[in-house]
Homo-oligomer: A and B are copies of this chain.
């Protein structure tokens, strides 16, 4: 399967790479200069995730958020996004702590493929 460049994808990537925190579908839609279908965004993000361009983090609210991968992926090891995230219960922002990686040995027989490390609470902006 080949990959083609489109305006939609460029726009989504621009928004994600310019953001300093992970964005939900809705947040991305609201920032889009170009208009395109909701389903398209789902497919673009799923594609980016599989290519290792972005990583997904799911919050306590069950909603997915996406951020560009700072730790670049190799061809053999994709989506290894094992750093900590922080979701603010007040403003809803999801922060990436790229330098706080979590390395854990899985118990015998468990093979790790994706990581979803998140802590929730209040962020500095919302602590008064």
Assess the A119–B123 pair: CB atoms within 8 A. Answer: no
A15 touches B (CB below 8 Å): no
Count copies of this chain in the complex: 2
Instruction: Kindly report which residue of chain B lies nearest to residue A114, judged by CB atoms.
Output: B120
Interface residues of A in 112-128 (CB under 8 A from B): 112-124, 127
A38 touches B (CB below 8 Å): no
Assess the A127–B102 pair: CB atoms within 8 A. Answer: no
Q: How many whole Å from A62's CB to the nearest CB in chain B?
A: 4
Per the CB 8 Å criterion, the residue count for chain A at the interface is: 36
A28 touches B (CB below 8 Å): no
Assess the A121–B127 pair: CB atoms within 8 A. Answer: no
A52 touches B (CB below 8 Å): no
Assess the B120–A113 pair: CB atoms within 8 A. Answer: yes
Which residues of the partner chain B approach A100 to less than 8 Å between Cβ atoms? 104
Which residues of the partner chain B approach A108 to less than 8 Å between Cβ atoms? 124
